[in-house]
Amino acid sequence: EGMSCQDLAAALALNDSEIVKVLFMKGIAITVNQTLDEDTVKLVCKEFEVEVVEAGTIRVEDLAKKSNTFIDDEDLEHLESRPPVVTIMGHVDHGKTSLLDFIRKTKVAAGEAGGITQGIGAYSVDVTVEGEVHPCVFLDTPGHEAFSAMRARGARVTDIAVVVVAADDGVRPQTLEAIAHAKAADVPIVIAINKIDKDGANADVVMQELSSHGLMPEEWGGDIPMVKVSAKKGTGVDSLLENVVLVAELQELSANPERTAKGTVIEASLDKARGPLATLLVQNGTLRKGDIVLCGETYGKVRALMDHTGARVDEARPSAAVQILGLNEVPVAGDEFEIFDSLDVARSKAQEHAEVMRQSRLAAQAGEGKVTLHSFANAVAASAETGVERHQLNVVLKVDAQGSVEAIREVLQQLPQDTVALRFLLQSTGEISASDVELAVASGAVVIGFNVGVQPSVKTQADAEGVEIRLYRVIYDLVDDIRKAMEGLLEDVE
Q: What is the 3-state secondary structure (H, E, C) of the chain?
A: CCEEHHHHHHHHCCCHHHHHHHHHHCCCCCCCCCEECHHHHHHHHHHCCEEEEECCCCEEEECCCCCCCCCCHHHHHHCEECCCEEEEEECCCCCHHHHHHHHHHHHCCCCCCCCCCCCCCEEEEEEEECCEEEEEEEECCCCCHHHHHHHHCCCCCCCEEEEEEECCCCCCHHHHHHHHHHHHCCCCEEEEEECCCCCCCCHHHHHHHHHHCCCCEHHHCCCECEEECCCCCCCCHHHHHHHHHHHHHHHCCEECCCCECEEEEEEEEEECCCEEEEEEEEEECEEECCCEEEECCEEEEEEEEECCCCCEECEECCCCEEEEEEECCCCCCCCEEEEECCHHHHHHHHHHHHHHHHHHHHHHHHCCCCECHHHHHHHHHCHHHHCCCCEEEEEEEEECCHHHHHHHHHHHHCCCCCCEEEEEEEEEECCECHHHHHHHHHHCCEEEEECCCECHHHHHHHHHHCECEEEECCHHHHHHHHHHHHHCCCCCCC
Instruction: Candidates 16, 93, 218, 315: give the one binding ligand GDP (CB under 6 A).
Output: 93
Nearer to ligand GDP, 94 or 262 (CB): 94
Q: Is there binding between residue 64 and ligand GDP (CB under 6 A)?
A: no
Nearer to ligand GDP, 167 or 467 (CB): 167
Neighbours of 85 (CB within 10 A): 28
Q: Is there binding between residue 264 and ligand GDP (CB under 6 A)?
A: no
Instruction: Candidates 121, 142, 236, 263: give the one binding ligand GDP (CB under 6 A).
Output: 142
Nearer to ligand GDP, 13 or 192 (CB): 192
Q: Is there binding between residue 231 and ligand GDP (CB under 6 A)?
A: yes
We find the least distance from the C-beta atom of residue 277 to ligand GDP, in angstroms, to be 24
We find the least distance from the C-beta atom of residue 230 to ligand GDP, in angstroms, to be 4
We find the least distance from the C-beta atom of residue 192 to ligand GDP, in angstroms, to be 9
Nearer to ligand GDP, 95 or 300 (CB): 95
Q: Is there binding between residue 232 and ligand GDP (CB under 6 A)?
A: yes
Q: Is there binding between residue 286 and ligand GDP (CB under 6 A)?
A: no
Nearer to ligand GDP, 95 or 449 (CB): 95
Q: Is there binding between residue 95 and ligand GDP (CB under 6 A)?
A: yes
Instruction: Candidates 87, 98, 286, 394: give the one binding ligand GDP (CB under 6 A).
Output: 98
CA 124, 277, 309, 103: dihedral to nearest 10 degrees?
-40
Nearer to ligand GDP, 102 or 424 (CB): 102
Nearer to ligand GDP, 231 or 380 (CB): 231
Q: Is there binding between residue 236 and ligand GDP (CB under 6 A)?
A: no
Nearer to ligand GDP, 169 or 307 (CB): 169
Nearer to ligand GDP, 194 or 394 (CB): 194
Could you tell me which stretch among 11-19, 95-103, 236-244, 278-286 binds ligand GDP (CB under 6 A)?
Answer: 95-103
Could you tell me which stretch among 91-99, 114-122, 352-360, 411-419 binds ligand GDP (CB under 6 A)?
Answer: 91-99
> Rounded to the nearest 10 degrees, what angle do helices 173-184 and 145-152 cross at?
40
Q: Give me the 402-441 binding string for ligand GDP, x by CB under 6 A, dash otherwise.
A: ----------------------------------------
Q: Is there binding between residue 243 and ligand GDP (CB under 6 A)?
A: no
We find the least distance from the C-beta atom of residue 218 to ligand GDP, in angstroms, to be 21
Which amino acid is located at 322 in the chain? V
Instruction: Candidates 21, 82, 96, 262: give the one binding ligand GDP (CB under 6 A).
Output: 96
184-203: contacts with ligand GDP (CB under 6 A):
194-195, 197-198
Could you tell me which stretch among 6-14, 88-96, 107-115, 127-135 binds ligand GDP (CB under 6 A)?
Answer: 88-96
Q: Is there binding between residue 228 and ligand GDP (CB under 6 A)?
A: no
| CA atoms of 108 and 418, how far apart (whole Å) | 67
Please check whether residue 452 is in contact with residue 347, taking contact to mean a CB–CB distance below 8 angstroms.
no
Please check whether residue 207 is in contact with residue 172, taking contact to mean a CB–CB distance below 8 angstroms.
no
How many chain residues interact with ligand GDP (CB under 6 A)?
A: 16
Q: Is there binding between residue 145 and ligand GDP (CB under 6 A)?
A: no
Q: Is there binding between residue 144 and ligand GDP (CB under 6 A)?
A: no
Contact residues toward ligand GDP (CB under 6 A) are 90, 92-98, 142, 194-195, 197-198, 230-232
